[in-house]
Amino acid sequence: MSQSLARENRILSALLEVSKVLNSSFDLEKNLSRTMRVLGEFLEMERGSVFLLDQHTKELKIVAAHGLTREQIDRGKYKIGEGIVGRVIERGSPVVIPNVGEEPLFLNKTGSRIRKGGISFLCVPISFKGEAIGVLSVDRIFKDRAITVDEDIRVLEIIASIIAQYVILWKHYKDTENEKEILKLQLKGRYSLPNIIGNSDRMQEVFEAVYRVADSKATVILYGESGTGKELIAKAIHYMSPRAKGPFVKFNCASIPEGLLESELFGHEKGAFTGAISARKGRFELANEGTILLDEVGDLPLNLQPKILRVLQEREFERVGGERTIKVDVRLIAATSRNLEELVSRGKFREDLFYRLNVVPLFLPPIRERKEDIPLLVEFFLKRFNEENNKDVSVSAESLRVLVDYNWPGNVRELENTIERLVVMSGRRTIRPADLPLNLKLPAPEEVLQKESLKAGIEDIEKSSIRDALEKTGWVQAKAARMIGLTPRQIGYKMKKYGLSVPAAIL
């Protein structure tokens, strides 16, 4: 076998070995040291060292080396531009010192090269996407003068690019590990309510308030669009309160005709009106020692409002058609999807009742304002409906993105129904975007507008920075392009797009 063929084989084996080593684990120092050893064993490249740029100190530090002691490693630090290693990172191109003994730039900081003759020092940048993140250096011991360093540099550049990818992956891995730690810490200080999902700050505020008010008898009013969980929170307050063993009574003020409302709420005596064949308790009486939820309280007719106010203040009322004053011990929680203040200003809602209800206002945000909760809600409902239906349906990452992007006008209820339908109807195990209902995939009209105006905004910025650069460089396109990181072709294209042309005064 010829000399060069033998070397080529060794190069291939070395490359294979390096990628095996770097694929084995995320132990950065160990694997890079093993890589440097491979260079020595296969390629007569000794004292291989990997320097990485510390983003904070802007210093190059050896992270792994072969054939250097710990002390020598610790000494090996360079600033950008300092020594050969510092120059390589500054320029982003390789440097070769054919004979180490004759080079003044060669700082030999580690003090490791005693026998100087016959050693070339090769140094290549470690770059990722055009940015130098470190340097790889080796001592090439040449017994054989026939070999050109060009080939060595080429091999080292390949190895440096494998190392670059490994380092970037490693950094990413470290970041996610750190994030996981931070997340764990954050979760510790968080509030949770059974079967209520909400990790967003807005929901956490609500949960915290629930904990604070549950013990008291304070009136709470829940504001929120349809399906945001008002009833769920009302129940949570009740079941966390000292009245948990008492009844939870729900009444929707918008659900029955006005004429029947009073007797529904306060009950009636026998013969109070035609059809009242026997006495009947109203909701307030039924809720005694418990909690009553008055849903859609904004729909309470004006003539009934003083009676509610009286219950709140005096804890007493009379049944319809009755003389007897009935005393109750009830906690009231109100809920509404309407703007009560506005109803007050329009004279549709009594101001005194509004203030009496508005003691502890809680605002339940719509889902579109807490999108980070969507994946958690999806997971929660998938689990519930999979269990109910004895299935094992999951949602693909792309489908989840569609679910997160959608703006859910019906809020959690709409999401819950959507997931239930998907689980029940799905014949497959993984829901793909094609399986999702069509309306989820169409952008809402206002979003289209937003995206358009965002695009226009970005284009404005781009146009003016290109014009700036052109003016600063006296309309020399190549210079201007370099200034803002475009290629001459790109700037030409953009100039045409934005109608930018060299002013007549300059031509």
Ligand X SMILES: Nc1ncnc2c1ncn2[C@@H]1O[C@H](COP(=O)(O)OP(=O)(O)OP(=O)(O)O)[C@@H](O)[C@H]1O
Q: How many residues does the chain have?
A: 507
Q: 335: Cβ–Cβ under 8 A, 6 or more apart, which residues?
A: 221, 222, 223, 224, 230, 231, 234, 293, 294, 295, 296, 297
CB closer to ligand X, 94 vs 229: 229
Residue 181 near residue 174 (C-beta atoms within 8 A): no
The item of Mg ion, ligand X, none sharing an interface with residue 416, based on CB under 5 to 8 Å by kind, is ligand X
DSSP classification of residue 79: E
Residue nearer to ligand X on the CB measure, 125 or 198: 198
Q: How far is the CB of 299 from Mg ion (least distance, A)?
A: 13
254 binds ligand X (CB under 6 A): no
Asked if 38 and 17 count as a contact pair (C-beta separation under 8 A), the reply is yes
**What minimum distance in Å lies between the beta carbon of 452 and Mg ion?**
36
Tokens describing residue 8: 């080529």
Site map 194..213 versus ligand X, x via CB under 6 A: --xxx---------------
Give the DSSP H/E element, type plus range, for residue 353. Answer: helix 351-357
| Site size for ligand X (CB under 6 A) | 15
Question: Could you count the other beta carbons within 10 Å of the beta carbon of residue 471?
Answer: 12
Inter-residue contact 386 to 419 (CB < 8 Å):
no
Q: Which does 224 bind (CB under 5 to 8 A by kind): Mg ion, ligand X, none?
A: ligand X
155 or 234: whose CB is closer to ligand X? 234
- Site pattern 399..428 for ligand X (x: CB under 6 A): -------------xx--x------------
CB closer to Mg ion out of 132 and 234: 234
Tell me the per-residue interface mask from 222 to 251 with ligand X, x by CB under 6 A, - otherwise: --x-xxxxxxx-------------------
Residues in 26-85 at the binding interface with Mg ion, rule: CB under 5 A: none
Residue 337 binds which one of Mg ion, ligand X, none, with CB within 5 to 8 A depending on kind? ligand X
Contact code string over 97-126 relative to ligand X, x by CB under 6 A: ------------------------------
Between 87 and 250, CB nearer to Mg ion = 250
Q: Which residue is nearest to Mg ion (CB)?
A: 231
Only segment of 72-80, 225-233, 280-288, 407-415 that touches Mg ion (CB under 5 A)? 225-233
How many degrees, rounded to 5, is the angle at CA 474 between CA 471 and CA 478? 95
Strand stretches in 216-371, DSSP E: 220-224, 248-252, 291-295, 316-318, 325-327, 331-336, 360-364
Output the smallest distance, CB 227 to ligand X, in A: 5
Q: How many CB atoms lie within 10 A of CB 505?
A: 6
For 431, the enclosing helix (H) or strand (E) is strand 430-431
Judged by CB, which is closer to ligand X: 413, or 421? 413
Give me the 140-179 binding string for ligand X, x by CB under 6 A, dash otherwise: ----------------------------------------
224/282 with CB nearer ligand X = 224
Q: State the sign of the Cα–Cα–Cα–Cα dihedral 259, 261, 264, 269.
A: negative
Cα separation, 400 vs 371, whole angstroms: 11
Query: Site residues for ligand X, window 334-373 (CB under 6 A)?
Result: 337
Of 312, 294, 322, 412, residue with least CA distance to 355: 312
Residue 230 or 331: which CB sits closer to ligand X?
230
Nearer to Mg ion, 228 or 477 (CB): 228
361 Cβ partners below 8 Å, 6+ apart? 220, 221, 223
Calculated CA dihedral for residues 369, 372, 378, 381, nearest 10 degrees: -70
Which of 413, 441 has the CB closer to Mg ion? 413
Give the single-character DSSP code of 460. Answer: H
Task: Please identify, among the stretches 40-48, 72-80, 184-192, 227-235, the one whose residues bind Mg ion according to the rule CB under 5 A.
Answer: 227-235
What is the spatial distance between Cα 332 and Cα 213, in angstroms, rounded to a whole number? Answer: 12
Q: Which of 205, 231, 379, 435 binds Mg ion (CB under 5 A)?
A: 231
- Tell me which of Mg ion, ligand X, none is bound by residue 290, counting a contact when its beta carbon lies within the kind-specific cut-off of 5 to 8 angstroms: none
Least Å from the CB of residue 280 to Mg ion: 25
Question: What ranges in 130-286 are assigned the alpha helix state H?
Answer: 149-188, 201-214, 230-240, 258-266, 283-286
- Of 41 and 420, the one with the shorter C-beta distance to Mg ion is 420
Specify whether the CB–CB gap between 206 and 362 falls below 8 A. Answer: yes
CB of 191 to ligand X, least distance (A): 12
Among the listed ranges 178-186, 223-231, 262-270, 318-326, the one in contact with Mg ion (CB under 5 A) is: 223-231
Residue ranges that bind Mg ion, judged by CB under 5 A: 231
Residue ranges that bind ligand X, judged by CB under 6 A: 196-198, 224, 226-232, 337, 412-413, 416
